[in-house]
Amino acid sequence: MAISSDSAAPAGRRVAPRRHRGDRSALARATIAALAVLLALVFVFSLTSGATDTSAAAVFWALVTGNDAAISTVERVVIFDIRLPRTVLGALIGASLAVSGAVMQGLFRNPLADPGIVGVSAGAGLGAVTFIVLGTGVLAPVAALFGIYHVPFAAFFGGLVTTILLYRVSTRHGRTSVATMLLAGIALGALAGAFTGLLVFWADDQQLRDLTFWGLGSVAGATWVKIAAVAPIIVPVVLLAPLLARGLNAMTLGEATAQHLGLNVQRFKRIAIVAVAAATGAAVAVSGGIGFVGIVVPHLLRLLIGPDHRYLLPACALLGAVMLLLADAIARQVVAPAELPIGIVTAAIGAPFFLWILLRRRGIVDL
């Protein structure tokens, strides 16, 4: 594993800030900068790849200057009304899934806690499906009250309830049992799935088509309206998540020690749970079940820059966005001109990765 091992500055010369062995801050900062550049590149790549062949330079020029003379009208429509919303939404969702995964893992003190695996996404999904199916019927007044936000809000509420139940069931005296957490997650996920199934049973044909595609997970059909519905939730959570970093670092040592270090543990847990549920709910509401981003991205970054959440959370936001855009590119390319739901791509890559983490931990940690 890479560790920055620069020795202290030469005697007699002040070099600030001094770097110390075992302190991976400098590496982490460099990684974040590199990821930001990578995200910019992948963003442009995502805009330019697809059925219409567009020059990256022309797209970049049009984006930066607003002068779109170098691209044709068709290209303009394709890029600004189809690909740009899709790319923006993909980046938002990738960032949201990875950050909520990292926060949840920190909160549960476990690298296997992921909203998709422990049933939080299923709970959020139940909330979303409830409004997709009943939003035009019995729940129409509530839907009207929340406008375009009604599905994200319902998903947030479903995710919140599931997260609270999960934490209550799996945590005793400040320690979270992994076995209990995973089993409770399976049970809660199955319960949410059962109710979702009931709603699907009631759905009409049009709703059924919507639900099926939604359930597989996709950022296709992204519109500026969808972005407007979830960006006000995802952007603040992703940008403010680093404020949770100090608390998550302290929680690494357990709830009691976190409190000894000055953290108001109960209040912190409430804030973190709401943040996870909000980010997961928003992502699930527009893109359905995109699994494993929340577990793969934080895990890879912990291997690279260490688990300090001050750096881990921003890095997760960037790499999450990069990974989702790349997965979306694969989803568009594999069976072109048709496309796969992106959830299939992330699961095909993520599930074996999850098994690999389990195997690595076997023998080190008693599950």
Partner 1 sequence: MLKAENIHVDLGRKTILHGIDLAAHAGRVTAIIGPNGSGKTTLMRALTGEIAFQGSATLNGVDIAGAQPWQLAAMRGVLPQSATLAFPFTVHEVVRLGLTSGIMGADGGDLVIEALKAVDLGGFEARFYQELSGGEQQRVQLARVLCQVWEPLLNDVPRFLFLDEPVSSLDIKHQLQIMRIAADYAARGGGVLAIMHDLNLTAAFADHVVLISDGRVFAAGKPPDVLTSGNLERVYDCPMRIGSAPDGNGMLVLPDLAAAQPIDHQNHASGDWNDATSGR
**Contact residues for partner 1 (CB under 8 A)?**
3, 5, 17-24, 106, 109-111, 246, 249-254, 256-257, 259-265, 302, 306-308, 310, 364
Parallel, antiparallel, or unpaired: how do β-strands 175-176 and 171-172 relate?
antiparallel
Q: How far is the CB of 203 from partner 1 (least distance, A)?
A: 41
Provide the token pair at 231.
């960006």
Q: How far is the CB of 324 from partner 1 (least distance, A)?
A: 24
* CA 278 to chain CA centroid, nearest Å: 11
Nearer to partner 1 (CB atom), residue 1 or residue 69: 1
Nearer to partner 1 (CB atom), residue 50 or residue 294: 294
Residues 158 and 123: beta-carbon distance below 8 Å = yes
Nearer to partner 1 (CB atom), residue 160 or residue 258: 258
Q: How far apart are CA 88 and CA 68, in angstroms?
A: 19
Nearer to partner 1 (CB atom), residue 19 or residue 44: 19
Nearer to partner 1 (CB atom), residue 209 or residue 270: 270
Of 294, 281, 324, 105, nearest to 192 by C-alpha is 281
Q: How far apart are CA 45 and CA 366, in angstroms?
A: 43
Q: How far is the CB of 263 from partner 1 (least distance, A)?
A: 6
The residues, any chain, with a CB within 8 Å of residue 139's CB and separated by 6 or more, are 130, 131
Query: Which three-class secondary structure string do you get for 87-117?
Result: HHHHHHHHHHHHHHHHHHHHHHCCCCCCCCC
Q: How far is the CB of 43 from partner 1 (least distance, A)?
A: 29
Count of residues for the chain?
Answer: 367
Q: How far is the CB of 279 from partner 1 (least distance, A)?
A: 20
Nearer to partner 1 (CB atom), residue 130 or residue 163: 163
Q: How far is the CB of 291 from partner 1 (least distance, A)?
A: 22
Q: How far apart are CA 308 and CA 252, in angstroms?
A: 10
Write out the H or E segment, with its range, that includes residue 166.
Answer: helix 150-170
Q: How far apart are CA 57 and CA 342, in angstroms?
A: 27
Q: How far is the CB of 25 from partner 1 (least distance, A)?
A: 8
Residues 75 and 54: beta-carbon distance below 8 Å = yes
Nearer to partner 1 (CB atom), residue 29 or residue 224: 29
